[in-house]
Structure 1
Amino acid sequence: MPTLRLTAGEIDYQDTGGEGPVLVLLHGVNMDASLWRDVVAELGPDFRCIAPTLPLGSHRRAMDRPELVTHHGVAAMVGELMEALDLSAVTLVANDWGGAQFLLADGPNDRIAAAVLVACEAFDNFPPGRPGRAIATSARVPGLLWAAMQLQRFTWFRRAPGAWGWMSKRPIPRQVMDRWFAPALGDPAVRRDLRTFALSTPPPTELRRLVERLPSFDRPVLVLWATEDMLMPREHGGRLASLFPHGRLVEIDDSYTLMPADQPQRLAAELARFVTEVQSTST
């Protein structure tokens, strides 16, 4: 897996290469780029898929500048990645983590031709639901985040209601979750980065200002929302799509938040259709 040195530190990323339309695929907390593995396989060689592993708790290299691991800081890292790889006409795709909205609202977003927001944090739902609040709470108490990470070892916790059982409707393969949780279990510096991020949740006033700025992103936006989502309120999908001058909503059945895991074929088809439409209207 190639690596890229950014201002905050070195990150891993996957790049399928090729001359096709570019998609940059973003994940949430305690996950890595492998969240997108089935979607990337479905999209195939017609698309260039770039999936960074962001420093959100499943990264294998602790950041050199942990103070930059905030919602704003990680959004800035995505912008820096696009610049470092000299990407253009990017379709930015984000699932679960809502901080990418800061990049859409505030930039730099000149390399982004379109965006797809997939069952993600929005409005006042930062952090999302009971699992998100649990991480935020454990980050405030010394030693509690370490204890919370230990629970990730157990299958019963990985499928427990109110925890990961509300993230995906179908079990994620054990080896994938083992990979996701190993860095924070074994490396105190990775837990430090995760703690910094968890404590950076924007206050309500800032989140309200973000909502006011989102209409400034005047390029096509597709909002994909799971009708059975346990963490992201269903009404947020329509509200989020309506904020953008060129936004629209598509709802997906039989999925929870992690649509790349629950519905990779349907998600890949919607992405391919959207990117094709964007290209046809821009030529």
Structure 2
Amino acid sequence: MRIELSSGSIDYQDTGGEGPVLVFAHGLPMNETQWRKVVPLLDGYRCVLPTLPLGGHRVPMKPDADLSQTGVALLLGEFIERLGLEDVTLVLNDWGGGQFLVSEGRAERVARMVLVACEAFDNFPPGPAKAMARVCGLPGGVRLLTRLMRIPAFRHHRSGYGGMSLRGIPDEIMTDWFAPATRSRAIRRDFAKFATGAPDRATLLAMSERLPEFDRPVLVVWAAEDRLMPREHGPRLAGLYPGGRLVEIADSSTLVPEDQPERLVEVLTGFLAETGAEPVRRAG
């Protein structure tokens, strides 16, 4: 499915149904397949998965689109509003910018958040990804990155995407994530805009200071063997939100949906049930 928003067209998947709405956001330059192991386990919920313009999107944004952290967060909020979604559970993994719907005062449709091993505070982009962001800021940098990603030793290196999953991201999935930027100059333009669009440290920390205004339930799920998201950020995030709670998942790196999908669904559905978002079971 596809919807036209102010910055351009957004593809999305929607499982439909009458169950509570879960909106899943992804990382750079990923797409909805980041959640392919999780969504089939969420019977009784309506799962909505937009492909945000983080470089893995299939349709270029308008040339003047704001693809900064706040720009993409506001686009996510616009997406939720345009679909008429209410009482949404926003689920983030890797990219943490969806939290800035709070700092921008646009989280009125979000009833709860689930923050799974994601960027927080001044960790935008995460430490090991800062070098990639610098490359993306150079002329031809994203094109160079897409070419390097074809080399198995680079693709699977532990200091890059290879370090995001203990199980290893399947080659066909990673190829799909980088395919749009490989074939489209306009997508590479969008990729570079987002990759280099993080505010400075002082601005990020100032934005974070507004996050405690979100007084609804927040589940923070942190990975015990994450190479990108500092381990201390998990309890710090959980303590930041008035309704925050922390669960740490062992034997996982950043991409918890890849490494521990069943355990993630277990803690997610428990949290949803405890906070008034019971699944809708089909009769019979």
TM exceeds 0.5? yes
Aligned residues: 278
Which string of whole-angstrom CA distances, capped at 9 and with x for unpartnered residues, describes residues 121-171 of structure 1? 1112111121x2122111221122211111111222221110111111112
Determine helix, strand or coil for the equivalent of 2:65: helix
Cα distance in 1 for partners of 2:29, 2:115 equals: 19
Instruction: Report deviation, 1:264.
Output: 0.8
1:60 maps to which residue?
58
Query: How does 1:236-255 map onto structure 2 within 5 Å?
Result: 236-255=233-252
**Is residue 228 of structure 1 aligned with residue 239 of structure 2?**
no
Cα distance in 1 for partners of 2:171, 2:225 equals: 23
Determine helix, strand or coil for the equivalent of 2:245: strand
Determine helix, strand or coil for the equivalent of 2:222: strand
1:153 maps to which residue?
150
1:182 maps to which residue?
179
Instruction: Report deviation, 1:107.
Output: 2.7
Structure (1 or 2) with the greater helix fraction: 1
**Root mean square deviation of aligned Cα:** 1.3
**Is residue 107 of structure 1 aligned with residue 105 of structure 2?**
yes
Cα distance in 2 for partners of 1:188, 1:106 equals: 31
Query: How does 1:30-69 map onto structure 2 within 5 Å?
Result: 30-44=29-43, 46-69=44-67
Instruction: Report deviation, 1:78.
Output: 0.9
Determine helix, strand or coil for the equivalent of 2:158: coil
What are structure 2's unaligned runs of at least 5 residues?
279-284
Cα distance in 2 for partners of 1:84, 1:211 equals: 26
Question: Residue 34 of structure 1 aligns to which amino acid in structure 2?
Answer: T
With normalisation by structure 2, the TM-score equals: 0.95
Cα distance in 1 for partners of 2:130, 2:274 equals: 38
Which string of whole-angstrom CA distances, capped at 9 and with x for unpartnered residues, describes residues 238-277 of structure 1? 0011010110110000100011111111111111111111
Runs of 4+ in 1 over 3 A off after TM superposition: none
Instruction: Report deviation, 1:79.
Output: 0.6
Percent identity at matched positions? 53
Instruction: Report deviation, 1:280.
Output: 6.7
**Is residue 197 of structure 1 aligned with residue 194 of structure 2?**
yes
